[in-house]
Amino acid sequence: MAQIIDHISRTFNEYLLMPGLTTKECIPGKVSLQTPLVKYRKGDKAGLLLNIPFVSAIMQSVSDDCMAIALARNGGLSFIFGSQSVESQAEMVRKVKKYKAGFVNSDANLTPEHTLGDVIELKERTGFSTVGITHDGTSNGKLLGMVTSRDYRPGRDSADKKVKDFMTPFAKLVTGKYGISLDEANDIIWDNKINTLPVIDENRHLKYFVFRKDYDNHKNNPNELLDDRKSLLAGAGINTRDYAERIPRLVDAGVDVLCIDSSDGYSEWQQETIRFVRDTYGDRVKTGAGNVVDRDGFRYLADAGADFIKVGIGGGSICITREQKGIGRGQATALIEVAGARDEYFEETGVYIPICSDGGIVQDYHMALALAMGADFIMMGRYFARFDESPTKKLMLGGTHVKEYWGEGSNRARNWQRYDMGGSARLKFEEGVDSYVPYAGKLKDNLEVTLGKVKSTMCSCGALSIPELKRVAKITLVSSTSIIEGGAHDVILKETKTSEE
C-alpha cells in the first residue's frame, strides 16, 4: 500500500502568531525586510538580495515588463511570464533593464540631416523625448548635438526642418567623461541645472545619458532593487522544453535571475534544465526551481544545483491541481517541512538555499506567517493581479471594478509546458481557472499598507529582521471557533458608503 503521512495537511489560516517582547527599539521604521534571493555559503552574502520579500508570479495575467518595473522600483522582483515567444519575453526583459539605469544607453538617435518629422516619428515609436544626434545616427556615434521637446514646436515648425537647424549643438552641451561615477554625474546635473547629461569617451563618442528624473525617482523609491549599474533587476520564467533556446536569449537581454516554472518540480526534467545552465554558464546565471512540498523534493532540487526552491502545489487562488489530480499539500505544512530540510542542508553543506512560498496567501497576515515558518520570500499572483500595473483589463462587473485573472493551467493561457510530463505538446486538461479579482488601484499605495502590516506584526513578535523573526516567532494552531472569534462577531456592522456612491 502507499506510504501514509499521518501529519495533517494544514493551511496558513489554521495558525496565528503569538506576541513576543516588543522592546522600545522594535518599531516598524527600524524593521529590515531585506532577504536573500539566491543561495550562498555560510559566512558569505547572497549575490542577489530582495529589499522586500515579495516576487510576482510567473503568469500571463500578472508579470509583464510593466509589473516588473513597478515592483523592482519598490524593492521586489517580477519573474516575467514564459508562456510567450522567446523574442517577446526577451524584449520585456530589455525594457525593464533599460527603464532606469543611472547610465542609460541612448535608444533614440538621429543624424543632423534628419528632419523634425523624423524626430516626431521616433518619439511616437519609442516614447523617448531625448534624442542623441550623432554623426551616423547610432547610439555610440560621435556626438554632434541633442534634441529634446524644448527644441521645437510641432504646431509651428515645418516637418521638413532639418535637425541641424534646431538641435542644441555639441558646443552648448554640458557633458561628462566616460568613467565618471553616478554621484559625480548627478553633481554635474545639479550644478549646471540641466535635465540630461551626455557621457562621452575621449573620441567624443556617445556612451550614455544620465537623467535628472532618475535621481528624483530614486529619492521617491528608496527601496529600488538595482544591480551594480543602477539598472532595475528583472527575473524571467523558463520551462523544461525550450530552455536551450530561451535561456541564451534571456541572458543576452540582461536577465538577472531565472526560475523554472512548473506545477511539479520534483522531476528529472528540472534536473536536466539546471544541468544545462551549469554546463553553459557555471554559477553566473542564477536559476530557481520548483515547486515541491516535502523534504525529498527539496533535497532533489538542492542536489541538482537550484539557486532557490519554490514551495507549494495547489494552493493558488486560481489553481485546481488538487481538485483535478489529487496532488498537493496544505501550504503551511509543506513550508514547515521544506524549511526544516533547508536548515538541515545548510548544517550539512554550509550552503543556504532560500525557499519561496508560492500560494496559499489569503490575508496579509499570512505573509508574516509564511516568513516566520521559514520562507525567505513569497511569490504571489492574485495579490499583484489587482493593481493598475498588471497586464490585464480593468472591467466593470456588477457595479464593481475588477481585473481579469487567469491561471497558467487554464485553457486561456494554454501554458502546457508548465504541466509537462512528457508526451504530446498540448494542455490535456485544465489545472487553472479564468476569473476576476477586485480592482485595487496602484501597486505602490497598496504595497505600502501591506508592508506596514508585516512590519507591525514583526514588531509584535519582537523581531527587526526576517532572520530574527524565524528565530523568535511563536506560532499556535487555532480551532475553527477561534478563527470565527478573530473576526468581527456578535455585533451589527454599520453600513459604510464608498466615495463613489
Grid coordinates representing 311?
Answer: 514551495
Burial class (CB in 10 A: 0-12, 13-18, 19+), 56: buried
Please say whether the beta carbons of 346 and 352 come within 8 A. Answer: yes
Q: Is 401 helix (H, G, I), strand (E, B) or coil?
A: strand
Please say whether the beta carbons of 346 and 302 come within 8 A. Answer: no
What is the C-alpha to C-alpha distance for residues 154 and 148, in angstroms, rounded to an integer?
A: 12
Residue tagged active-site, from 66, 259, 319, 461: 319
418 tagged catalytic: yes
| DSSP string for 423-489 | SSSS--S-SB-EEEEE--B-HHHHHHHHHHHHHHHHHHHT-SBHHHHHHH-EEEE--HHHHHHTS--
Please say whether the beta carbons of 99 and 255 come within 8 A. Answer: no
Please say whether the beta carbons of 434 and 442 come within 8 A. Answer: no
What is the C-alpha to C-alpha distance for residues 242 and 89, in angstroms, rounded to an integer?
A: 13
Closest CA to 232 of 388, 76, 38: 76
Please say whether the beta carbons of 407 and 382 come within 8 A. Answer: no
| Amino acid identity for residue 385 in this structure | A
Provide CB contacts within 8 A for 93, sequence distance 6+: 65, 80, 234, 236, 250, 253, 254, 255
Q: Quickly count: other Cβ atoms within 10 Å of residue 279's Cβ.
A: 8
Angle at the Cα of 318 (from 317 to 320), degrees rounded to 5? 105
Residue tagged active-site, from 246, 382, 386, 418: 418
319 tagged catalytic: yes
Q: How many CA atoms lie within 13 A of 14 on its CB side?
A: 10
Strands (E), 44-188: 49-50, 54-56, 77-80, 109-110, 131-134, 143-147, 168-169, 176-177
**Phi first, then psi: what are they for 424, rounded to 5°?**
-70, 155
Residues with a catalytic annotation lie at 319, 418
